A and B are shown apart, each in its own frame.
Chain A
Amino acid sequence: MTLKAHNLVKIYSNTGVPVHAVRGIDLEVDDGEFVAIMGPSGSGKSTLIHMLGGLDVRTSGEIWLDGKRVDSLTESAWAVLRRRKIGFVFQGFNLVANMTVADNVELPALLAGVSPREARERREFLLERLTLTDRATASPGRLSGGEQQRVALARALANQPSLLLADEPTGNLDSRNTRDVLRLLGEVHRDGQTIVMVTHDARVAALADRVISLLDGEIIDDGRIPRRRSATGTAGEVIDLR
């Protein structure tokens, strides 16, 4: 999945005074890439990721997904696209309160047209991988924050999306749970999952291949994070750090 945005602009004018949340962003995410978007509060990073997933409508600019222009899609067409290709993780987890963990995870798969049996198998696989098998029948309200975010991650992956969008996935979590969730994100990334993640936490962003910094709706920095080579530290590695 390749994702491209060209001169993306979002202006809110709800209150009468136009607010420029995103001012002409150009962005390209390659297949299998893990991109972190960083920036202080109000820098437009959530607005950007919402636009990339079709949750919010752009004011101007273009969005291309897998070579197809999608910014002009209707709300319903975006919904169908999300069903098939996009998974979302939110800061507030956003599990459907009345549904059990199992139902929450199976829902996107069912919606993508998978048979109930396959949806169940996929859910069992995901929950086992996220060590949540024993919580399948629980209601989300009875889970800890970390558990809820793991369920939310399982749900986002249930329809095997080409693109995973995560909006501050660790924003509500303590450090231990943050570590767990990040480990999981790293794992799915290693499996080839394209991920775009918004965060304001540098330690979290460090997990990504590439970090884009936003300020006042504009990209001020876009840099790749070199992968640390494992094990033995050599002099060459020190130089490699630049």
Chain B
Amino acid sequence: MSVVRAGGRFIRSDLRARPAQALLTVLSVAGIVAALLTGATLLEEGTNPWRSLFAQTDGAHIWIHTTDPPDVARLRELDGVVRSAGPYRSAPVTVVQDGKKAPAALRALPAALPEVAHPVVREGAWLSSAQPDGVVVEQSFARALGLRLGAPLTVNTLGGARRVLYVRGVADSAEQGFYPEWTPGLAWVLPGTLDQVEPKHGLSEWVTGLRLADADATQVISQRAVVRLSRLERVYTWREVRAAMELDNRLLGTLLALFGVAGLVAAALALANAAGGRVLGQLRDLATLKSLGFTRHQIAALLVVEHGALGLLGIGLGLSAGWAACVWVLGATSAAPLPVLAIAVGAALVVLAAVGLPAWRGGRTPPIPAAPGAPPRGHLSRLARLALLVRLPPALVLGTRDAFTRPVPAFLTAFGLAVPMMMITIGLGVWSTLDNFLKHPEQVGQSAGLIVKKGKLTPAETELLLRQNPDIRKVYQGSTVNALAPGEARSVRVRAIGTSLDPYPYPVAEGRGYTQPGEAVAGQGLLDLLGIRIGDRVRLTVGGTPLIVRVVGRVVEPELDGQVLSVGLDTLEAKDTVPPAFYALDLRPGADPAEVAPRLLAASGEALDVQRVINPAERLGVIRMIIVGLIVVLALIALANLLTAIALGLRDHASDLAVLKAMGLTPRQVTATLVTATGLLVILGVLAGTAAGALVVTWLIDLQGHTSGVGAGIGRPPAVPAVVAAVLTAVGAALAVALIPARRAARASVPAAGTRLTG
């Protein structure tokens, strides 16, 4: 108790004496924690938007489609059902937009939004009886069709009637997955409108949503609901919706984890540096405390408490700030509790570990307060003497020497800058990999910019049409079939494209491409799934007929987690390939798929189904935001590190300044000495970090590619100008930061060296 009281006094006084430094420590920890939390939540949101959509729309857990209106009262009696939505009448229609036909469900909702499962309007307004021809379109559907507010929407009913509606709003819903992964697309109209569009009730279905008290009870309740219903068409739950909305988030997850861990390491270094610097500065006081009767362990505990408290305060602040940011951006209850907990615990452990070492060192201070806390001094090294002899600027030589007087803090400073710099380089590498995806889709297995499905035309007509288009360099016929894999209770995708003589230009990462019938190439995911290697034979079953192929190469395969086997059309039997299911169009360099597609459509009289190939990088845009955010936080951490190093350097050399001036160095030279001392460590750290990052980045991305099934061979080193710019910015900013205190110190009238004793 007595030690707690006495220690408490010390900590309080110490914090009061250096509020700015303490604040910077708290803020840098808070910054990284907030960034981690926001990043994790944004990632979760970006890759799995279901959670927040469900919260925003007060979604229903179970959706039931029936032929007749169900008895909702009976469903609500079910134990665990809190509220219900609907039943809403829903009619299947075909939307005709820019020549494209898309299946859609036209759902009748009232003008007053329901309590449960109400769509959230993102643009425009909700339906109103004043505009009976209005329609509100689900956001992903609207985006896929290129619909804007006020645009006409032509719908064909099953009966063949055509009706034009006008888009009044675009809304989000957690009722079903995104279009086109989940079809049909969803659009809402007023009940009266639906009666006009599709007067025949026999051609429509009824949709009812149930909101439960406990999401975990979904399975049981949905089974009970099914028992109570007749003429059931379809039941699905939030789990299916969530799964449908999920992106392949492994790349993002790995990246975020990597950045997170590195960020924590950097924060730990910053904290260890700050605490270490403080301990070094306090050695005299600590010795005094020991002479007064504090034991070694009590001193260490004191320091852990003081610096750990700052770190923990930072964690607390960071969590609240991150949480607030998430709630502000994404709406309440959007932050997932598990990552928050993991981040909090991880950060707390890192903070304690980071503070532990300097605290232990502080505890070992000898109790004789007269022992100087000055740096170990040696004589000038031979190199330094030689440098002075050949008349290198003395500031440079003395600064270089000063930089390394304390090897451990010097290492910590350089390392503390190297880690953020390494992460920044990795971030730039990821950025350039994404750019490369976009610029060279052929390198990620997307040589074809457009996929054409024949639609109403005959194969001969289609081929003629494609051959006539000047933007198309080459047309590859293709078909996809599902094949049963041996020993797997599931099917794998077999893509037949091109022929053995004229194969599709796959980017072959290992082995070679297929050159004769019976040969195949596969994505990493398929190799892993079947446990085979290049050169192995595989026996699959396609529609009852066995297919035996030899895998001769591995290609970069961005689709279906890489679980795709590709062969020439001549490898499959004719029944599976004639007529071809699609045509992959290799466009002339410079041709924009977005421009070619409508021209093709127009040329075919809107008879062809032209699809643009979605580049994986387009879906990974959220990564770029994460990279930018993390670079900012890492820069902050590096800054905190730097400020500690500068403070420590100034403290160490305060007495030397008088000597330097007495020796005849001008204030400018003194400034240069101090800046050199810091700048050297900065340059060392930045260069080491950049080199390490550049070395590791392609390997890292390829590793990630391997585990995600896409396969190695996608990683690209960061662009050289970007890296050079980053290095120059980092070094320049660091020197600028170092310059201010150095100038102030050099200009100040320096008291005699002895004053340190009385300080």
Given A55-B368, A103-B13, A110-B2, residue A97 in contact with residue B285 (CB < 8 A):
yes
Q: Does A122 contact B (CB under 8 A)?
A: no
- 13 A-B residue pairs with Cβ-Cβ distance under 8 Å, sorted by A, are A53-B291, A79-B367, A80-B293, A81-B293, A82-B291, A83-B292, A90-B291, A92-B757, A96-B288, A99-B13, A107-B10, A110-B9, A112-B293
Contacts of B377 in A (CB 8 A): none
> When the two chains form the complex, which single residue of A81, A94, A111, A141 contacts B2, counting CB atoms closer than 8 Å?
A111
Q: Does B178 contact A (CB under 8 A)?
A: no
Interface residues on A, range: 35 or more
Contacts of A107 in B (CB 8 A): 6, 9-10, 289, 292
Contacts of B368 in A (CB 8 A): 50, 55-56
Contact at B759–A98, with CB atoms within 8 Å? no
Contacts of A110 in B (CB 8 A): 2, 5-6, 9
Q: Which residue of B lies closest to A91 (CB)?
A: B370
Contact at A99–B10, with CB atoms within 8 Å? yes
Contacts of B1 in A (CB 8 A): 113
Q: Does A145 contact B (CB under 8 A)?
A: yes
How many residues of chain B have a CB within 8 Å of chain A?
Answer: 34
Given A55-B368, A79-B293, residue A100 in contact with residue B13 (CB < 8 A):
yes
Q: Does A232 contact B (CB under 8 A)?
A: no
Contact at B9–A98, with CB atoms within 8 Å? no
1/0 per residue, CB under 8 A from A, across B748-759: the answer is 000000000111
Contact at B291–A111, with CB atoms within 8 Å? no
- Give Cα distance in the complex from A10 to B287, angstroms: 21
Q: Which residue of B lies closest to A46 (CB)?
A: B370
Contact at B369–A94, with CB atoms within 8 Å? yes
Q: Does B297 contact A (CB under 8 A)?
A: yes
Q: How many A-B residue pairs have CB under 8 A?
A: 106
Q: Does B290 contact A (CB under 8 A)?
A: yes
Q: Does B259 contact A (CB under 8 A)?
A: no
Minimum Cβ distance to chain A for residue B443 (Å):
61
Minimum Cβ distance to chain A for residue B637 (Å):
26
Q: Does A175 contact B (CB under 8 A)?
A: no
Contact at B2–A96, with CB atoms within 8 Å? no
> When the two chains form the complex, which single residue of A81, A98, A148 contacts B285, counting CB atoms closer than 8 Å?
A98
Q: Does A187 contact B (CB under 8 A)?
A: no
- Give Cα distance in the complex from A46 to B2, angstroms: 30
Chain B interface residues toward A at CB < 8 A: 1-3, 5-6, 9-10, 13-14, 16-18, 284-285, 287-298, 366-370, 757-759
Minimum Cβ distance to chain A for residue B755 (Å):
10
Given A92-B369, A92-B370, residue A111 in contact with residue B285 (CB < 8 A):
no
Contact at B758–A80, with CB atoms within 8 Å? no
Contacts of A98 in B (CB 8 A): 10, 13-14, 16-18, 285
Contacts of A167 in B (CB 8 A): 370
Q: Does A218 contact B (CB under 8 A)?
A: no
- Give Cα distance in the complex from A145 to B292, angstroms: 20
Q: Which residue of A lies closest to B364 (CB)?
A: A75
Identify the 5 closest CB pairs spanning chains A and B, nearest first.
A83-B293, A98-B17, A76-B295, A113-B2, A99-B13
Given A76-B297, A103-B13, A148-B758, residue A55 in contact with residue B289 (CB < 8 A):
no
